[in-house]
């Protein structure tokens, strides 16, 4: 692959050039991330990876509008891996029920009293911070750390022993009066200072920037390479236990955790005992007030019944104990200034507004932007640039703007005008996309389709896909290559069909000599392209990439119009406002306003028209078979159910449709025939109940004359 372009300074690139390079880099960085983190099989050297990533970061900085919502540079750590060995938890790792208000806490305490039938006898609870990290189970045998596992699904976690051995705060050998088997459980977390330092380093060197300390802790612990874990500062608080053999005499939660402290585990200094709801709520208020000064993220307070015998009596409801509850803090909010609204363009042309904010700390995390979802949301909030806004962050949810605060100058500021044109340099008109139910949607989307550089690559992918042109040897990877290749660029579908000719005309830069290609593969590729110069109308219509025109709709259109000329003429007439042409299209089975509007929008767009015209000139489009109207099943609605023996479902469907029948997925009073094979169930029963004609596969084949 050519790397020439990486030498070009970002500000020398045009937006389409940058878009192409960014798409290529994003894909490669994501692939390298997956290979490294998930598959433990790096596909490039660290230096190459760093260079590639830095280039992408630089391009994203130079072209913020082209930054993909799912860019790998914003990745929030490694996902769960299949590569870690699984560990079964002898004692399941449970989660906690939540309380969101004082009343919820009072109800929890009342429930505990009722369950234990205490008749007013006081019960002691512990109260402690709920650490926002990830839980970990540490197994010690004869005082030695033998394994460490994440919670996983509660029953089975990931074996992260090698990584845990690098965490300084976790003791590897315990001394004192110890049970033979001891599982200590608690939370791994990253302190604010260590998190900030890690991200600062990542930003400077183009590494992974984490969204919050919890993601950083999880990403650091779930590394396949313990060296990476070792380079991150992880901390731990012990607050629970799993298997303990022999039974442990220590009778209360509080004393057990204190014992952990004596054995060398960090325990939270804010753990206290309470004997009433009022005391519990006072602890909650105190921790809420101190939250920003703790040095690590907490997201609430956990209350636990102190006596172990009572915990045992209370037991569990599904996956949480009856003896504990997490009293969550409300989502954190902060005020700041809305400095600007950027529009990000996704790969499908969707335009998403993003609020640019004066940096503000919300719960220990600096927030610089927030999602605005869509144009309607800006109107709903009446957010204007310069306004004072309230930003909310809940867990790792993307920060949101929840309200605009009137600072006296709001009314004087101009209302935000959502762009009507695409951010691409073609300045194509944006439409509001309709939802499947026909309601006007909230998403603003570029109608440029193939002409919009953001969407062009995506469309080219569909164009060569299995259900469209299905060109052997021209898959996503090759499309990506040709899209970015300066010598043989493929920027629109017609370019595919001029590849061989252009290659022949440029003997100095032959494709045959490029990495990944050779004379045989190139000859094969060109032959495969030639073979698709003749294409069935339905594939062609689908391949155009008209929004809302999927495979089935394309087939319906192809069958209804029969030829490209007829379909094209109808589309042109609809664009011109011809009501008859519109009605005719509306009359086609399964085709309604959404499709018609999408067809009209597509053919109204000059760039699309030019692209289609060039493409058609390269091809022979084979007419579709129009459905027969003189067969035994013409106009009938048929449902296939159970297994078919002589043909596949797809074949059966295609044959029925060729013969003029309509194939439905469910049985109703409108169904004429149900073809039931072995294993038919509820559909057959329904047909019988409704008195619909039922036949076997043989009977069906005999009826249509194919038996």
Per-position x/- string for 46-75, each x denoting binding to ligand IVH as judged by CB under 6 A, each - no binding: ------------------------------
Q: Helix (H, G, I), strand (E, B), or coil: what is residue 145?
A: strand
Size of the site for ligand IVH (CB under 6 A): 15
Q: Are strands 430-434 and 440-446 parallel, antiparallel or unpaired?
A: antiparallel
Q: Which secondary-structure segment (H or E) carries 339?
A: strand 332-345
Asked if residue 128 binds ligand IVH (CB under 6 A), the reply is yes
Q: Which secondary-structure segment (H or E) carries 273?
A: strand 272-274
Would you say 259 and 288 are in contact if contact means Cβ atoms under 8 Å apart? no
* Interacting residues of 671 by C-beta distance below 8 A, sequence separation 6+: 637, 638, 639, 664, 687, 690, 692
For ligand IVH, which stretch binds (CB under 6 A), given 246-254, 319-327, 420-428, 530-538? 319-327
The values of phi and psi at residue 288, to 5°, are -60, -40
Q: How far is the CB of 187 from ligand IVH (least distance, A)?
A: 5
Asked if residue 187 binds ligand IVH (CB under 6 A), the reply is yes
Q: How far is the CB of 96 from ligand IVH (least distance, A)?
A: 4
For residue 370, with 0-12 CB atoms within 10 Å meaning exposed, 13-18 middle and 19 or more buried, which class applies?
buried
For ligand IVH, which stretch binds (CB under 6 A), given 129-137, 514-522, 538-546, 601-609? 129-137
| Tokens 């439905």, residue located | 664
Asked if residue 240 binds ligand IVH (CB under 6 A), the reply is yes
The values of phi and psi at residue 541, to 5°, are -65, -40
For residue 418, with 0-12 CB atoms within 10 Å meaning exposed, 13-18 middle and 19 or more buried, which class applies?
middle
| Tokens 């014992």, residue located | 259
* Among 302, 325, 544, 600, contact with ligand IVH (rule: CB under 6 A): 302
Per-position x/- string for 71-110, each x denoting binding to ligand IVH as judged by CB under 6 A, each - no binding: -----------------------xxx--------------
Name beta bridge partners: 675: 640, 695
Task: Report which of 58, 14, 3 is spatially closest to residue 491, judged by C-alpha positions.
Answer: 14
Q: How far is the CB of 293 from ligand IVH (least distance, A)?
A: 18
Which residue in 86, 114, 130, 442 is the catalytic one?
A: 130
Asked if residue 160 binds ligand IVH (CB under 6 A), the reply is no
Give the largest CA-CA distance in the chain: 95
Would you say 460 and 544 are in contact if contact means Cβ atoms under 8 Å apart? no
Q: How far is the CB of 239 from ligand IVH (least distance, A)?
A: 4
For ligand IVH, which stretch binds (CB under 6 A), given 127-135, 365-373, 437-445, 470-478? 127-135
Four-point Cα dihedral 93, 97, 99, 100, nearest 10: 90
Asked if residue 130 binds ligand IVH (CB under 6 A), the reply is yes
Q: How far is the CB of 129 from ligand IVH (least distance, A)?
A: 6
Would you say 386 and 338 are in contact if contact means Cβ atoms under 8 Å apart? yes
Asked if residue 324 binds ligand IVH (CB under 6 A), the reply is yes
For ligand IVH, which stretch binds (CB under 6 A), given 320-328, 355-363, 445-453, 538-546? 320-328
Per-position x/- string for 417-446, each x denoting binding to ligand IVH as judged by CB under 6 A, each - no binding: ------------------------------
Give the CB-nearest residue to ligand IVH. 135
For ligand IVH, which stretch binds (CB under 6 A), given 8-16, 321-329, 413-421, 578-586? 321-329
Q: How far is the CB of 189 from ligand IVH (least distance, A)?
A: 9
* Among 294, 326, 610, 622, contact with ligand IVH (rule: CB under 6 A): 326
Cβ closest to ligand IVH, residue 129 vs residue 448 = 129
Task: Report which of 692, 697, 694 is spatially closest to residue 677, judged by C-alpha positions.
Answer: 697
Cβ closest to ligand IVH, residue 324 vs residue 522 = 324
CA angle, corner 296, sides to 294 and 297, nearest 5? Answer: 110
- DSSP states along 174-206: --SS--SEEEEEEEEE--HHHHHHHHHHHHHHT
Strands (DSSP E) found in 119-168: 125-131, 134-141, 144-150, 156-158
* Among 71, 73, 135, 671, contact with ligand IVH (rule: CB under 6 A): 135
Cβ closest to ligand IVH, residue 202 vs residue 326 = 326
For ligand IVH, which stretch binds (CB under 6 A), given 130-138, 405-413, 469-477, 540-548? 130-138
* Among 112, 131, 228, 355, contact with ligand IVH (rule: CB under 6 A): 131
Cβ closest to ligand IVH, residue 187 vs residue 458 = 187
Rounded CA separation 503/237 (Å): 64
Q: How far is the CB of 255 from ligand IVH (least distance, A)?
A: 16
Per-position x/- string for 464-483, each x denoting binding to ligand IVH as judged by CB under 6 A, each - no binding: --------------------
Catalytic residue status for 130: yes
Q: How far is the CB of 326 from ligand IVH (least distance, A)?
A: 5
Rounded CA separation 370/394 (Å): 12
Would you say 428 and 422 are in contact if contact means Cβ atoms under 8 Å apart? yes
Q: How far is the CB of 402 from ligand IVH (least distance, A)?
A: 24
Which residues participate in catalysis according to the annotation?
130
> What are the residues binding ligand IVH (CB under 6 A)?
94-96, 128, 130-131, 135, 151, 187, 239-240, 302, 321, 324, 326
């Amino acid at each position: 692959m050519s790397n020439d372009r990486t030498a070009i300074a970002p500000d020398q690139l045009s937006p389409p050039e940058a878009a192409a390079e960014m798409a290529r880099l994003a894909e490669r960085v994501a692939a390298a991330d997956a290979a490294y983190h998930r598959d433990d099989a790096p596909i490039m050297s660290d230096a190459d990876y760093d260079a590639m990533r830095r280039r992408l970061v630089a391009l994203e900085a130079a072209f913020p509008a082209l930054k993909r919502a799912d860019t790998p540079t914003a990745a929030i750590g490694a996902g769960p891996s299949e590569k870690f060995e699984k560990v079964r938890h002898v004692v399941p790792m449970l989660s906690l029920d939540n309380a969101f208000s004082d009343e919820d806490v009072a109800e929890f305490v009342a429930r505990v009293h009722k369950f234990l039938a205490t008749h007013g006898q006081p019960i002691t609870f512990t109260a402690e911070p709920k650490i926002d990290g990830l839980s970990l189970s540490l197994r010690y045998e004869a005082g030695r750390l033998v394994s460490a596992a994440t919670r996983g699904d509660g029953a089975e976690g990931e074996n992260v022993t090698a990584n845990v051995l690098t965490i300084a705060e976790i003791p590897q050998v315990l001394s004192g009066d110890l049970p033979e088997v001891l599982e200590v459980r608690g939370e791994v977390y990253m302190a604010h200072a260590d998190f900030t330092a890690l991200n600062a380093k990542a930003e400077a060197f183009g590494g992974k920037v984490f969204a919050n300390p919890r993601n950083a802790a999880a990403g650091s612990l779930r590394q396949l390479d313990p060296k990476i874990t070792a380079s991150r500062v992880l901390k731990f608080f012990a607050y629970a236990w799993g298997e303990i053999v022999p039974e442990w005499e220590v009778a209360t939660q509080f004393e057990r955790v204190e014992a952990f402290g004596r054995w060398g585990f960090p325990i939270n200094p804010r753990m206290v005992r309470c004997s009433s709801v009022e005391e519990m709520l006072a602890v909650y208020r105190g921790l809420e007030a101190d939250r920003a000064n703790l040095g690590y993220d907490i997201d609430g307070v956990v209350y636990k019944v102190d006596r172990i015998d009572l915990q045992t009596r209370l037991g569990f409801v599904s996956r949480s104990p009856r003896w504990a509850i997490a009293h969550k803090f409300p989502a954190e909010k902060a005020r700041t200034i809305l400095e600007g609204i950027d529009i990000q363009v996704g790969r499908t042309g969707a335009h998403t507004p993003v609020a640019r904010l004066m940096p503000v700390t919300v719960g220990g995390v600096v927030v610089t932007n927030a999602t605005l979802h869509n144009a309607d949301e800006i109107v709903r909030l009446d957010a204007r640039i310069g306004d004072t806004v309230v930003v909310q962050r809940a867990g790792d949810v993307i920060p949101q703007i929840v309200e605009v605060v009137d600072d006296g100058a709001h009314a004087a500021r101009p209302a935000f005008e959502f762009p009507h044109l695409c951010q691409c340099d073609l300045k194509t008109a944006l439409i509001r996309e309709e939802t499947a139910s026909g309601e006007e949607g909230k998403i603003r989307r570029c109608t440029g389709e193939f002409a919009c550089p953001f969407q062009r690559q995506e469309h080219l992918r569909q164009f060569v896909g299995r259900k469209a042109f299905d060109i052997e040897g021209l898959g996503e990877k090759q499309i990506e290559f040709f899209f970015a290749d300066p010598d043989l660029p493929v920027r629109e579908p017609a370019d595919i069909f001029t590849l061989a000719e252009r290659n022949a005309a440029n003997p100095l830069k032959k494709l045959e000599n490029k990495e990944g290609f050779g004379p045989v593969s190139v000859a094969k590729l060109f032959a495969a392209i030639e073979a698709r110069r003749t294409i069935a109308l339905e594939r062609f219509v689908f391949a155009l990439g008209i929004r809302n025109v999927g495979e089935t709709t394309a087939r319906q259109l192809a069958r209804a119009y029969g030829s490209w000329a007829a379909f094209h003429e109808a589309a042109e007439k609809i664009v011109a406002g011809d009501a008859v042409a519109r009605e005719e299209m509306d009359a086609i089975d399964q085709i309604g306003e959404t499709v018609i509007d999408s067809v009209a929008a597509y053919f109204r767009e000059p760039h699309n028209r030019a692209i289609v015209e060039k493409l058609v000139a390269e091809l022979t489009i084979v007419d579709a078979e129009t459905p027969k109207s003189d067969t035994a099943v013409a106009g009938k609605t048929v449902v296939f159910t159970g297994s078919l023996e002589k043909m596949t479902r797809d074949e059966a469907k295609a044959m029925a449709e060729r013969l003029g029948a309509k194939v439905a997925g469910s049985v109703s009073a409108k169904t004429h025939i149900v073809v039931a094979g072995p294993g038919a169930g509820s559909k057959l029963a329904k047909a019988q109940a409704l008195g619909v004609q039922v036949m076997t596969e043989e009977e069906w084949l005999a009826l249509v004359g194919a038996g």
